[in-house]
Amino acid sequence: MGEKLISAVAIAAKTHPRKENKSIQYGTAGFRTKASDLDHVLYRMGLLAVLRSKVKEATIGVMITASHNPEEDNGVKLIDPLGEMLEQSWEAHASQIANSSDENLKGTLDELIKTLNIDMAKDAYVFVGRDTRSSSPALADAVIEAVTALGGLVQDFGIVTTPMLHYFVVCKNTNGEYGKPTPEGYFFKLSTAFKKLRGKNTSNGKYIPDISFDGANGVGASKMKELQACISEYLNVKIFNSGEGRLNHQCGADFVKVQQKAPKGVPTRENVRSVSVDGDADRIVYYYIDKEQVFHLLDGDRIATLLASYFMELVKASCLKLNLGLVQTAYANGSSTNYIAKTLKIPVACVPTGVKHLHHKAQEFDIGVYFEANGHGTVCVAKSASEMIAQAASDEKLEVNQRESAQRLQTLVDLVNQTVGDALSDMLLVETVLHARGWDIADWLATYSDLPNRQMKVTIQDRRVIQTTDAERQCISPPGLQETINEIVKMYEQGRAFVRPSGTEDVVRVYAEATTQSNADRLAAEVARAVHETAGGIGNPPPVPAL
Ligand code: G16
C-alpha cells in the first residue's frame, strides 16, 4: 500500500503540480476559485476522498462544480456517507493537503494517515459527478486518476446535479433503503411520490399546472427535461436557458435573488409561476410578473414557510406527536421570521451561512425544515419520526382522516431529497402544497409581506479581516466596524444590516433591510462604504444614493 501512496504522490508532482504558492481554503461549500488554479487541488481531493472512504468504510462523493459562480470558476464539494457535507474537522485536513507543496505532500499525507490511524488496507469507493462547465471534465479526470492511483474504486456519473450525487451516495451507503443509486432511480422516486400526491386532478381551485423554468444554462435544464418526461401529464414545465447562453449569466437563482428581477431568456407570462435554479441545481427561487408588470420574488424564506406550514398541518391532522422546527440564517427576511414565530408558531433557529450548518441544526428536530433565503434548503425527517409516520399510515385503528393524513405525510417525505437542498425536489414540493391548497402564486405571496432588502458586495484586500459572531449577525473585526454599523442602522426604521466574508467568492457580503426599498438600498450602501473605509477596500468606495 505504501507503494501506491508513493506513486500517487509522484503522479501529483509530475502530472498535477501545484504551480503557484497561492493559498486556498475550504470555504462555505468546498474549494472554489478560477478553474485554471484547481487541477492540483482536485487531484489531491481525489486522494483525500480515498482516505475518508477508508475511515468511514463507505462511499464518498466528489462533485465538481462552482455552482452559482461564473462559468470561469470551478470548485469541489465533498459528500460524506449520509449525504452531508464533509465533516468540519476534515475541512482543515482538506485545506492542509491542498496547500502542501509538491515536496511536502507525501509527508502531509503520512502524518494524516498516522494521526487518524487510517488502515490503508481497507477498500475505498468514490462517486464522482460534475456540472456542465467546460473545465469540469478535466478536473473530474484528475479526481479519478488520484482515486485509481491510491487503489480506490470510482463510479463516474458524468453530468449530474449536486443533489443527485448526494442522493446516489446515500442510496449506496444505505444498501438501497433510500432508493436506487442511479439517475433512473432518482427520477423514479421523485416522480412516483409527486404523482401519488397529486392524484388525477392536475388543476385545483386557482392552481394551474403550468410553470416556466430557468435552467441557468446549466445542468438543471437537462435534468428537468428528464424529470419532465416522467411527470408531463401532471405538470407542464416550459424550460428556458437550457445551455444556449453563458452559465449563470443574467439568469439563475442567484441572479434573480440578488438583483430582484426576472432573468434574461425567460419570456414574461403574466401571473405564471416561474422558477430559477442555480448552476448545479441545488437552489431554487420562485417569482412572477403581475398584471401591472410588477416583479414579485418568492425566495427560500417563502418556500420554508410554505413547506413548514403544510408539514405542520399534516402532522396535526394525523395526531402525531412530532416536534417540527425551522432553521434560517441571518439573511432571512425579518418578516418571515416573525411570521414563523408568531403566526405559524413554529420554533425557529438562526445559524451561520452554509448548508452544512443548517442541516445539522435541522436534525435536532423530528421534522426540521431548513432554507437559506437564497433558495438552498430541504426537510430532514428523523428515522424515529419516519417510523411513527409509517406506523400511523397503516394503523387500521385510527380514524380514516388521521390515517389518510399520515399516508399523505409519508408520501410527502418520499418527495423530499433529504440529503441536501435539491431544486427539482423542492419545486415538486412547492407545487404539491400550492395544488393541495388550490392557491395561485399571489395567494402564496399574500401570506406575509417581506421587508424591502438589498444585498451588496464589497471587494477588499483580504476578506479574512472581517470576522463575525452570533450567527454572523455581529462583526468582531476589524475593531470599530460593528459600532459604525450600529450607528448607521439606528437611523432607519426597522433597519437591520450585517456584513460577512463570502466563502465562495472573493468579496464581503452586505445585507440590509428597512421599511422602504430606497431606505434598504441606502442602508446597504452606507454599510458597504463603512466596510470599504475600515477594512481596506479596493477601488472607489460604493456610492450612497441621495436621500
Ligand atoms: C453555497 C453554499 C450555500 C451558501 C452559498 C453562498 O451555495 O452551499 O449554503 O449560501 O454558497 O455562500 P457565501 O455567501 O459564503 O459565498 P452554492 O449554491 O453556490 O453552492
Cβ–Cβ under 8 Å, residues 392 and 398: yes
pLDDT number for residue 200 = 77
**Ligand 1: which of 376, 419, 467 to mutate, judged by most atoms within 8 Å of the beta carbon?**
376
- CA 266–ligand 1 middle distance (angstroms): 24
Cβ–Cβ under 8 Å, residues 276 and 284: yes
The upper half-sphere exposure of residue 249, i.e. CA atoms within 13 Å in the direction of its Cβ, equals 10
Phi, psi values for residue 324, rounded to 5°:
-115, 135
Q: What is the number of the ligand 1 atom nearest to the C-alpha of 279?
A: 18
The pLDDT confidence band at residue 22, using thresholds 50, 70 and 90, is confident
Q: What is the number of the ligand 1 atom nearest to the C-alpha of 356?
A: 9
Please check the confidence at residue 323 and state whether its pLDDT lies above 80.
Answer: yes
pLDDT number for residue 547 = 75
The pLDDT confidence band at residue 427, using thresholds 50, 70 and 90, is very high
- When pLDDT is averaged across residues 499-525 and rounded to a whole number, the result is 96
Q: Which residues are annotated as a binding site for Mg(2+)?
A: 67, 278, 280, 282
pLDDT number for residue 2 = 84
- Answering whether pTM is above 0.75, one says yes
**Ligand 1: which of 26, 68, 361, 504 to mutate, judged by most atoms within 8 Å of the beta carbon?**
504
Q: Over the stretch 60-72, which tens digit does the pLDDT of each residue have?
A: 999 999 999 999 9
**Ligand 1: which of 25, 28, 32, 506 to mutate, judged by most atoms within 8 Å of the beta carbon?**
28
For residue 448, the SS3 value is coil
- CA 374–ligand 1 middle distance (angstroms): 8
Q: Of 67, 191, 212, 274, which residue is the catalytic one?
A: 67
pLDDT number for residue 1 = 62
Alpha carbon nearest to ligand 1 atom 3, residue: 354
* Cα–Cα dist 369/362, whole Å: 6
Q: Over the stretch 287-300, which tens digit does the pLDDT of each residue have?
A: 999 999 999 999 99
Question: Is 135 designated active site?
Answer: no
pLDDT number for residue 545 = 87
- CA 193–ligand 1 middle distance (angstroms): 29
- CA 477–ligand 1 middle distance (angstroms): 22
- When pLDDT is averaged across residues 386-394 and rounded to a whole number, the result is 97
Average pLDDT across the chain, whole number: 96
- In Å, what is the CA distance from 92 to each residue of 31, 117, 118, 128, 433? 12, 17, 17, 22, 41
Q: Over the stretch 38-90, which tens digit does the pLDDT of each residue have?
A: 999 999 999 999 999 999 999 999 999 999 999 999 999 999 999 999 999 99
* Cα–Cα dist 526/542, whole Å: 8
The answer to whether the CB of 354 is under 6 A from ligand 1 is: yes
Cβ–Cβ under 8 Å, residues 538 and 463: no
- CA 29–ligand 1 middle distance (angstroms): 6
Q: Which residues contact 45 (CB under 8 A, 6 or more apart)?
A: 31, 62, 76, 78, 94, 97, 98, 143, 146
